[in-house]
Amino acid sequence: MGGVISTFLSADTIRPILSYVGGEAKYIWGLKDNLDDLQTQKEKLIEKKEDMLNEVELAEQRPRTRRTRSVQRWFERVDRRVTEVERLQQERDQEIDRLCLGGFCSKNLISSYSFGKRVEKMKNEVIELKKGGEAINPLYEEVPEGAAVAIAVDRTIVGQESILDRVWRCITDQEQNKGIIGLYGMGGVGKTTLLKQVNNKFCSDEQHHFGVVIWSVVSREPNLKQIQVDIGKRIGFSTDSWQRKSFEERASDITNALKHKKFVLLLDDIWESKIDLTELGVPLQRLDSGSRIVFTTRFRGTCGEMGADERFEVSCLGDDDAWKFFEGVVGRYVLDKHPDIPELAKAMARQCHGLPLALKTVGNAMASKEYPQEWSHAIEIISRSASKFKDMEKQVLSRLKFSYDSLPNDELRSCLLYCCLFPEDSEIPKTDLMEYWKSEGFVDSSSGWGVLGALLRACLLEEAGLVDEGGNRVKMHDMIRDMALWIANEIEEEEENFLIRAGVGLTDAPKIEEWEGVKRISLMENKIQSLPQIPTCPRLQTLLLNRNHIAKITDSFFQSLPSLRVLNLSGNHYLTELPVGISSLVSLHHLDLSYTPLTELPVGISSLVSLHHLDLSSTEVRGLPQELKALVNLRYLNLEYTRKMSRIPEQLISSFPKLQVLRMLSCGSEIFPIVEEGNVLSDGAEPLIKEIHCLEQLNLITLSLRGTRGVENFLKFPKLQNITQALSIEHCNSLPLNLLHLSNMEHLEKLHIEESNLEDWNVDCAGEVQKMRKLHFVTIYECSNVKDFTWLVFVPNLKWLRICYCDDMEEIISVEKLSEVSEMMGELNLFSELELLVIRNASNLERIYRVPLPFPQLKVIDISECPKLKKLPLNSSSAKGRKIVIYGEKEWWEELQWEDQATQNAFSPCFLPDE
């Protein structure tokens, strides 16, 4: 028997039995109870987790609160353990079925023993896990702030993506030392929105390396304490006790906190007052270590005052972007209500002139207009007067007026309002504008440029167009113009009150009743044919009637305009005579008769004894009468381009002792040579030059010199050379004027040379000739016997160069001649300011210059009838970053040789064939 037992009980079988008998039978006979207990402990664990989870989730509803990592890991362990318990429970029925002898034995001792031990172990782990959860404290914690706090943005401005990317690159590029960055532009253009987008980009882009981003609004009247508080809150100083510290103590705390951080300080809406950041406590030395300060301002000049290393102009939207933005504000629901509405909406959007603030205001007002008739009526209202449109006065014009109000004096404000006399989109020559201001008494001879600069820096005027021979131009944005009209007519009606119908297609002048009480009237650029009525306007100071179709002015028209200072009748091509009654304008300072076919001035003009400004440029006046000698107060006389002027009496010019400006370019050019006795234009203009020399207050002249004698007479008077602004030299076969004379004309801006011998103008006198830094415009016409114009290297700021009908010219700048002077002149920077290059009818021209030039300012090249010119001085780096236009014959362009393929690829899109 013992043998049998030993046969069936192996060592592997005996060991668990002995263990079972030895006290571990509980894993089998206690299995059912352990399974029930395990289920109970699991349910208790789940209950504990749910209680803790509810508490955590409730806390997480508070801002900047999150569960701790410990509790999150415990939740994860609980989930895993519950899953394991449920798997064990799935084996429950099978294991219970194996039990026998009332649960004290098993049909499979090994399996039951192993399962029972796993259940016991799991039960203990569940109990310990529950205890571990009860020991966790705290369950949640305060979330530390990120580098930036997101700011709500009303709407992303369409069209700002490009400038946002540029600003972001400038901020985050640590290799560039661009510590202070300024964003400037007119009010309502979207500067604040752009700065908010920059701030929020720090929240979404985790690739930056800044520790803290600080936002503060400066505003028109800066509150320095509030700026300190804004900075303090972002760096941990938010208690009331800190805010009660002195200004200096807070500044010290800010310095100590920021000097160890890489920070970005965003300052919105800085006005003209400079903010002393060091006084606030901002450690500017951290800018060298990558910190940044970015600010917005309405004033371009503030960028300089704040020491901005990089400046970005935020401009109005283009037509496409403006429409996308307006479309988004109005919404497709309204735009799709009627097929006529989309086109009307586009016309409405154009009335906002790309200004985001106006687009938003008008768009919101139109978002409920579902009938085309409502849109048509709204367009009529806003076209007639922007201030009459709903919310425009409150939301747009009044906000733009902040910039007007911030101007430091009334003179600046008056000069700005004067600009709205010009039609929409007008580009106004700066010199003409300043002459108006001087005639009105707003500025004197020395302050005009300062006023102009102040208005440009305030972004109330803007630079405009290609520089031309009339000088630089400015323009007024149409929404700024609407603001100026609103101010002139409604805000300061007692002081200003304008009547403006410029460029609107009038065929008749406004009714005379509308003129009463008005201070300035502009009816320029219309189709008015006559002025038959007689206005009574005791306050009227400016009357602009230029570029109309006026043929007749009634004799008494001017009799009741005693305060008139500025009268512009230029460009009226049917006006052959002036009424005698013009002599009633005893206060007139500025008279512009240019581009009119006047044949003779009325004798009565001699009654204008108070006249300060007389402009007869581009008229067909045959001669000036002796009676003009009575104009003893004349200060400005313009006879430019009065090409048919046949006679100026002797002692007439010298009878104007107060004359400051005399313009006579191309005066009498069509009747040269003049031999009439008693005419100061005769005898090589020697009588004229002598009389001009006697004018003690004269500070600017423009002259045309004809023939060798005319130039010789001019050279006798160095004083006149010093005040010459523009000079035309014609018909000089032997030219006594040389480069040395030319360089002594310190104020010379424009030079025209025609049919004259320049053969002796060489560069062998480089050691004596000074650079002609103010000379900007050079025209050379029909000058043969000269193979190059290398002397142009003495004109470093040349903007316009036109050379026509110079058949012997082979090159413009000779490398061989240039080498003779380069060592004495230093760095040449050839044509570094050139914007326009015109070369026509130069049959022997082979090159402009032998090597490529950078041309950083070039805008236009115009070449025609130059068959030997096969290569332009360009390479792929020339005019880099600029879109230039190249005009020429198609055949010439196709035969042009290029420096390389890259150069050809760069300039191929620039060509426009001559028509």
CA separation for the pair 20, 23 (Å, rounded) = 6
Residue 333 parent element (H or E): helix 332-335
74 alpha carbon, distance to own chain's centre: 58
| Sole residue written with tokens 């037992």 | 5
Q: Which residue has the higher pLDDT, 499 or 602?
A: 499
CB 283 within 8 A of CB 231: no
Contacts of 515-524 with C-beta under 8 Å, sequence gap 24+, read 515/540, 519/495, 520/418, 520/421, 520/488, 520/496, 522/421, 522/422, 522/498, 523/548, 524/421, 524/422, 524/423, 524/548, 524/568
Residue 3 has what pLDDT? Answer: 40
| Sole residue written with tokens 């800066």 | 222
Question: Model confidence at 4, in pLDDT bands (50, 70, 90)?
Answer: very low
Average pLDDT over residues 733-756: 90
pLDDT, tens digit, 9 for 90 and up, residues 247-267: 999 999 999 989 888 999 999
Please say if the pLDDT value at position 223 is more than 50: yes
Please say if the pLDDT value at position 813 is more than 50: yes
Question: Model confidence at 141, in pLDDT bands (50, 70, 90)?
Answer: confident
Residue 792 has what pLDDT? Answer: 92
Please say if the pLDDT value at position 191 is more than 50: yes
For CA atoms 760, 764, 766, 769, give the dihedral sign: negative
Residue type, 625: P
CB 169 within 8 A of CB 460: no
DSSP characters over 211-265: SEEEEEEEETTT-HHHHHHHHHHHTT--SHHHHTS-HHHHHHHHHHHHTTS-EEE
Residue 664 has what pLDDT? Answer: 86
Residue 2 has what pLDDT? Answer: 39
pLDDT, tens digit, 9 for 90 and up, residues 347-371: 999 999 989 888 988 988 898 889 9
Residue 745 has what pLDDT? Answer: 92
Please say if the pLDDT value at position 737 is more than 80: yes
Q: Indicate the average pLDDT of the chain.
A: 84
Q: Which residue has the higher pLDDT, 158 or 296?
A: 296
pLDDT, tens digit, 9 for 90 and up, residues 212-221: 999 999 987 8
Q: Which residue has the higher pLDDT, 94 or 393?
A: 393
Question: Other CB atoms closer than 10 Å to residue 723's CB: what's the count?
Answer: 19
CA separation for the pair 114, 95 (Å, rounded) = 11
Residue 20 has what pLDDT? Answer: 45
Question: Other CB atoms closer than 10 Å to residue 320's CB: what's the count?
Answer: 10
366 alpha carbon, distance to own chain's centre: 29
Please say if the pLDDT value at position 281 is more than 80: yes
Please say if the pLDDT value at position 502 is more than 90: yes
Residue 105 has what pLDDT? Answer: 63
Question: Model confidence at 569, in pLDDT bands (50, 70, 90)?
Answer: confident
Residue 279 has what pLDDT? Answer: 93
Please say if the pLDDT value at position 860 is more than 90: yes
Question: C-alpha angle with apex 149: 148 to 154, nearest 5 degrees?
Answer: 120
Question: Other CB atoms closer than 10 Å to residue 847's CB: what's the count?
Answer: 19
Q: Give the rounded percent of residues in the chain with a pLDDT score beyond 70.
A: 84
CB 534 within 8 A of CB 558: no
Highest-scoring range by mean pLDDT, 19-28, 149-158, 527-536:
527-536
Length of the chain measured in residues: 915
CA separation for the pair 404, 460 (Å, rounded) = 8
Residue type, 330: V
pLDDT, tens digit, 9 for 90 and up, residues 861-872: 999 999 999 999
Average pLDDT over residues 780-800: 91
Q: Give the rounded percent of residues in the chain with a pLDDT score beyond 90.
A: 38
Please say if the pLDDT value at position 603 is more than 60: no
